[in-house]
Homo-oligomer: A and B are copies of this chain.
Amino acid sequence: MTKINAMWQQYPGLAPELTATLTLMEQNIKTHDPKITTAILEMIHAGGKLLRPAYCLLFSKFHTADRQKMIALAAAIETLHTATLIHDDIVDDSALRRNQGTIQARFGKDTAVYAGDYLFVVCFKLLAHYTSGLRSIQINSRNMEKILNGEIRQMKMRYQLDMSLDDYLLQIKGKTAQLFGAACFIGAYESGSSQAFAQQSQQIGLDIGIAFQIVDDILDYAQSSTVLGKPVLQDVRQGVYSAPLVFALQHATPELIQLLKKGPQLTDTDCEHIRQLVIANRGVAQAKQLAAQYTKKALTGIQRLPINAAQQELYQLTQQLLDRQY
């Protein structure tokens, strides 16, 4: 039974299309192993927010688009996102995602590798059948290349205590913002907008994505693993340093640096200690300022769009998303 996140009740124009997006994804996921099919479907149903398809659909409402086509493209984007999550969980050896065991943790890395690969293929299948031409596939494959390079960049920067804010921003542009930008671009472009409008939409999506990832990274420092659905500061143990830590390191105590040098050997107590030191060193406070800057940039961009119901929902959603939890 297809059920989307309760937050979408506030968006009556969008909710039925997001339900249709999820249903279409379900219909397209049919592997020859019921165990793998079920694992993927359970992951999809575990309450992913469907933000990327939501932005794709909203940006398609400034022109008169074939709704079925737009729903299929939104499904392709969320399918790609799911594929990257499954593979990220292999790379990070994550145990939990969306409050349930990751596919690797439950079924092993073999299933997780192929489940992710399979979803990449489903994404391209949906794109190939519903786009109006090769142009969107070209843009999408370029975007995917940037996303992969973002992941690769993050891997390369692991455990780098001298990581700069620019390094961090480049990383999250690749691994998160790029797909938000692509969702907005595809939504606009495939609904028949001008190239200029599609690029304007993409820029707004990039800013939303950057702000979204900073907020996500801040939440790692604010929340318990029970609330968040995944272990706290596991990323730091893996050598992935995000905005609060990068800021804190700019005026860090030797204590913090000493702790971080333990690398993969960090204990849960160490991580809690790091969390407190980062807050004490104003890392979280400065990251909040940075998130606010990108949020403001995104909201200003949305205010410049033609005023209609979609524009209002875009504004509301973006504000709600980036104000969450703090």
Contact = CB atoms under 8 A, between A and B. Distances in A.
Interface string A92-136: 000000000000000001110110111011101101110101100
Contacts of A297: none
Nearest to A123: B141
A215 interface: no
A91 interface: yes
A114 B128 contact: no
B33 A118 contact: no
A33 B141 contact: no
A144 interface: yes
Interface in A208-254: none
A153 B124 CA distance: 21
A257 interface: no
A109 B109 contact: yes
Contacts of A24: none
A8 B149 CA distance: 34
A60 B247 CA distance: 57
B113 A156 contact: no
A174 to B, nearest CB: 8
A91 B18 CA distance: 34
How many interface residues does chain A have, given as a range? 35 or more
A280 interface: no
A152 B87 contact: no
Contacts of A165: none
B121 A141 contact: yes
A90 interface: yes
Contact of A114 (B122, B131, B137, B152): B152
Contacts of A118: 145, 148-149, 152
B133 A110 contact: no
Contacts of A152: 31-33, 36, 114, 118
Top 3 A-B pairs, shortest CB-CB distance:
A91-B110, A125-B141, A128-B137
Interface of A: 31-33, 35-36, 87, 90-91, 109-111, 113-114, 116-118, 120-122, 124-125, 127-129, 131, 133-134, 137-138, 140-142, 144-145, 148-149, 151-153, 155-156
